[in-house]
Amino acid sequence: MKTRHVVGGLCLLAVPFLAAAAGGAHEHGVARLSLVQEGTTITLGFESPLDSLVGFEHAPRTDAQKQALQKARAALENAATAVTLPAAAACVVSAVTVDMPFGDTAHDGHDDHDTHADAEAEYVFECAQPAALDTVTIGLFQAFPRLQRIDAEAATAAGQGKAVLRPAQATWSLPAAR
């Protein structure tokens, strides 16, 4: 759970969201996104059921499934297309971490037929002008057509905010500085 990153800045309003997340909400077609600003550092955490990305949640059994996992990993690792930040914020990627289940090896002991699996990605940006960070546009809907909704939560210097992003509404308006 990447939501652990926002715990330090949470207000009470955000607790129901975390309670639901802690309860293991795993809904196919729905992913979660968190954005935390700490000074000039912006960290985005993305967590999705694997089904929403590749259409299955078991260890790959065919070459097509192995390729689907590799393609999904590559799409998540491509921060430039996954997340677009305003040019005025002058952000550069400093780290990308992708955690995909089942790895790249065929037999890693995770072939559980009745369980779910999640994929996670974390993007860390350094932004010279973080005050200009008013929107985030998510490109993951294009990469993953099965993804229908992203529940997003932000904690920035300007405040806290939540949003529901969808393929037709993939730009997230962050809490505005006042």
Residues making contact with Zn ion (CB under 5 A): 49, 51, 57, 116
Q: How far is the CB of 27 from Zn ion (least distance, A)?
A: 8
Smaller CB separation from Zn ion, 51 or 153? 51
Cα–Cα–Cα angle for 142, 135, 12, nearest 5°?
Answer: 105
- Alpha helices for 8-90 (secondary structure H): 15-22, 50-54, 63-77, 79-82
Closest CA to 135 of 115, 156, 119: 156
Tokens found for residue 56: 């299955």
Closest CA to 100 of 88, 92, 108: 108
* Closest-approach residue to Zn ion (CB): 116
Smaller CB separation from Zn ion, 50 or 165? 50
Q: How far is the CB of 52 from Zn ion (least distance, A)?
A: 8
Q: How far is the CB of 50 from Zn ion (least distance, A)?
A: 7
Closest CA to 149 of 128, 123, 172, 129: 172
Smaller CB separation from Zn ion, 73 or 172? 73
Helix (H, G, I), strand (E, B) or coil at 19: helix
Cα–Cα–Cα angle for 152, 45, 42, nearest 5°?
Answer: 95
CB distance 36 to 43 below 8 Å: yes
Q: How far is the CB of 21 from Zn ion (least distance, A)?
A: 15
Smaller CB separation from Zn ion, 101 or 161? 101
Smaller CB separation from Zn ion, 57 or 151? 57
